[in-house]
Each structure stands twice: as C-alpha cells, then as structure tokens.
Amino acid sequence: MAPPTTFSPVASREIYVIKEATAGVVPATVGVPWALTSFKPSDKPVWIEDDSWQGVMGDRYGVYQGPLIGSLDGGGHIFADTIGYPLYGIFGDYTATGTSPTSSTTLTAQLTAGQTTATVASITGYSSGSQVQIGTTTDGNPEIVTLSAAPSGSVITFAGTPARFTHLNGATVAAVSAPFTHVFALLNGPNIGWGPSQPPTYCLTDRQGIAANGANQYAYTCFSELVITGNAEKLFDFTFKATSASRATAAAPVGTANVSAELASPSWRTATGWGGVASGGTQIKDVGEHSITITRQVKPYNTEQGSQQPYVIARGKQGATGKITLAPAIDDSSLTALLANTQPQLQFVTSNGLSGTALRSLQVDILLAALETDDITDNGELFGYDPTFKTVHTAASSGGITMTGASGGKGAIKVTLVNAVPTY
C-alpha cells in the first residue's frame, strides 16, 4: 500500500498574530509570525439536549448545537518583538517612545484619536516610512506612528497606524529611531476603537497545512492569562490563555514567512529588585527562578441575535500573582517581610546586556507585593525559600516608578519593553 501524500509535518507549523481593526473581523493580512513552542486551539460548542419524557426509558432525544466559542493555549520563548502583542492584549493601556529625536516640530491643530493625518509646523526631515513620535510624557500621551506617504504641504499621513490618543495643538512631534520603549499598564478608561476599558483584540492564524488553504484562523482573540517565567538554567519563557471566536478557515492560501532576527534571552540575565529597583542596594542575587501570572477576567456574552458567535467578549478585572524561588537562601528576610506584612516593591529586569539600537529588555514593576506564603525548602544541598505573592493596585509611585498608565486609575503591575518595533 502506498503511503499518503497529503499529510503535514508538525515541525512546519507556523502561528501568525495581528491586531484587529474591528473586534471579531478577520484582517486582510495574517500579520507577523509568532515563534511558539506550543499552540493548542480548542473549539467548544455549547451542546443542548432534549431530555423530555417521551414514554420510553431513554435519556435524550435530540442533541442541538448552541453558541460557539474558541479556547487557545500556547507559549514559548520570549522574543522581544512579539511579546508585546499579548502584553497589549491583557493590559490595554499602552504608550510608546523612540530615541534620538530629530526634525522636532509641533502640531498646528488638534489631532483627534482615530485620525490618520496631522498638520505640523514643519515637514522638513520627514519622508514616507519615517517613525514619528507624537506627544511626550509632559505634553501628552506619547505614541509612534509610521508615515505611509511623503508629507504634503504641512500634512503628515500615517494611514496604517491611526492615532490612539488625542493630542492638543502645540504638542511635540519628532522623527525617532530604535530602540523604542513600550509601556503597558492597566487600561482604566475609554479607549478609541475598543469601548470602555477594553484592550484590543487579535486574530491568530494557525498554518498547519491541514485545513482549507492550509490554515485555521481565530478571530476576536482576548487574552485572559499571561505567565512570564525565568529560570536561571533555561531561556526566558511565557505561556498564555485566550478566548476567541470559533475556528474559521483562511480565505486564501497562507504561505511561510520568515521570523524576525530577534534572539531568545537566557534567564540568568535577569536582575531582581526586592524593596526597590533591580540595582544598587535593593538588588538580590539568590533568585533561582521567578514566575509572574497576569490574569484578566474574560466572559463571552451569547445573545438571541441569529448567530452562534458571541455578541461580545468582555474583559473585566485584571490581577497578578507570583512566586520567587530563593535558592540558596542567604537569610530569612523574605519570611520576616511576610510576617511583618511589609508588602515589598519588586522589579524584574531581563536584558540582552547590549546597548543602543541593539538593546532588548523586559522590565516588570510591582509596587506592592502582598506576600502570602514563604515556606523553607530542604530538597537540595542548601536551604531555600519560596515566597508567593499577590499584587495590590495602587496609584502611588516609588523609585521613579509610577504604576498608573496613560488612562490613570490604579495599577498593580506595569511592564516596560525595549526593542526595535516602532509600535503595536
């Protein structure tokens, strides 16, 4: 018997991610390849049974299909370019700044969120493809747009990256370059395009060669969990969970795309701060492993609308928990902090150790870590401690770290990502 010729090797699988312009609507392109080590989609129809009495001893007399929903689980090594997608998706509050500003000018008219053009005092030094920062941390929420056409008169155009914020007349405008700094925090107010306090949604494309046109697509992807894990003997890793619309097959064939040249980072490059920032006297060096779990309540609402797809997938409260493995423990200060309920400030900074345009780093800030347990461990040659904690939402600041984002309110955890990606 001849072997089959239509099978598809698992090793050739490729996942793509793209932010949706409209929640639940599959974009025209699949976005960028997302290098994962696991991806487990699951379609979960609601099954409705007829269990009426019908004069015989049976248990069911009909099985009907109700609403449809998708569930996604995945993960892999953290790459500086693509980890920004789940971070934006679970937090919702996002600002971006670049470096080496040139051709500094100002807006000559208010720029409203959602606009794709802006009028400026000068267009000297700007061209199609320029990365342009609008606003600063002092005159407005900073964001970066990419010019999609050559400036004309006093107008710059950025059709592919609409403004996410409103900027007043006179706000600073400048051309910027890498590295770019992205700050993710809890969205606490209206966000143009996504409704009140709702992060963006995404479409994930699973090219595995089996489905029609070689790929399945999961629109309306809403992230509900993101776990960031560092282990001194492993690469910097993450896992995620998400809720989505049920599977759709790609409308056109999906080909292979090369992933970026970004490299994974060994976790031993992580610096941990306890009671302050991860440098100077508050850096601790006996951390063998750390794990941070960021969660978001996600609920699909099914309505009588003539469709099996959810009417809306809502995002609710966001929180975070974590665990640190101190091994070998050089003292019992973590247990002392738990018993005194000091709720220390924590900071984790993982960097590639380079500088300038080559710098890649991910910094996690927690201003109040309410310690829950801290058991001593004796399963190795040396003693250790395993403190666990819950984060506490606060509007306070310490050591130059402010937990609130552009939308204000109170935040429990904040992530700063530095890479060569202009905007998400």
Are the C-beta atoms of 349 and 270 separated by less than 8 Å?
yes
Distance CA 49, CA 66 (A): 10
Are the C-beta atoms of 218 and 49 separated by less than 8 Å?
no
**Closest by CA position to 187, among listed 32, 416, 409:** 409
As given in the structure block, the two tokens for residue 259 are: 């992933």
Architecture of domain 95-179: Beta Barrel (2.40)
Per-residue pLDDT at 57: 96
As given in the structure block, the two tokens for residue 307 are: 């469709």
Residues pairing with 369 in the sheet: 391
Are the C-beta atoms of 158 and 148 separated by less than 8 Å?
yes
Return per-residue pLDDT of the chain as tens, 424 residues: 888 877 888 889 999 999 999 999 999 999 999 999 999 999 999 999 999 999 999 999 999 999 999 999 999 999 999 999 999 999 999 999 999 999 999 999 999 999 999 999 999 999 999 999 999 988 879 999 999 999 999 999 999 999 999 999 999 999 999 999 999 999 997 655 445 889 999 999 999 999 989 999 999 999 999 999 999 999 999 999 999 999 999 999 998 888 899 999 999 999 999 999 999 899 999 999 999 999 999 999 999 999 999 999 999 999 999 999 999 999 999 999 999 999 999 999 999 999 999 999 999 999 999 999 999 999 999 999 999 999 999 998 887 888 988 988 899 999 999 999 999 9
Domain boundaries, the chain: 13-49+60-94+182-419, 95-179
Distance CA 177, CA 125 (A): 13
Distance CA 24, CA 222 (A): 10
The DSSP bridge pattern shows strands 215-231 and 202-207 to be: antiparallel
Residues pairing with 388 in the sheet: 323, 373
**Closest by CA position to 128, among listed 88, 159, 82, 165:** 159
Q: What is the DSSP letter of 357?
A: G
Distance CA 50, CA 346 (A): 54
Are the C-beta atoms of 272 and 278 separated by less than 8 Å?
yes
